[in-house]
Amino acid sequence: MSLYELYVGWAATANDRRYLRWELLACEEVRGVFQTPRDDVLAVLFSGDRVGFRFWARSLEPETTTTQGALG
């Protein structure tokens, strides 16, 4: 098991925080979650490897879609 930092600055609304809580509870590889001195970072005790953690952490963040160009 390893301890990783999880950026959660994107979870600004109550709905985002609920979603994050459920995702943390649902992940079988998350063994513990701890507050850090920073408000936008959690420490996560994760039983998988670094690559697995990065993949999982990226899946939590909401997708941002931007439309470029003109509609015509």
Residue in the structure block whose two tokens are 């509870």 = 25
For 14, the token pair is: 């109550």
Q: What residues form DSSP beta bridges with 33? A: 44
Fold of 2-60: Alpha-Beta Plaits (3.30.70)
Quick: pLDDT tens for 8-29: 998 888 898 889 999 999 999 9
Q: What is the pLDDT confidence band of residue 64, given thresholds at 50, 70 and 90? A: low
Residue in the structure block whose two tokens are 């459920």 = 22
Quick: pLDDT tens for 29-58: 999 999 999 989 999 999 999 999 999 999
User: Each residue of 51-68: b (16+ CB within 10 Å) or e?
Assistant: eebeebbeebeeeeeeee
- pLDDT value, residue 68: 47
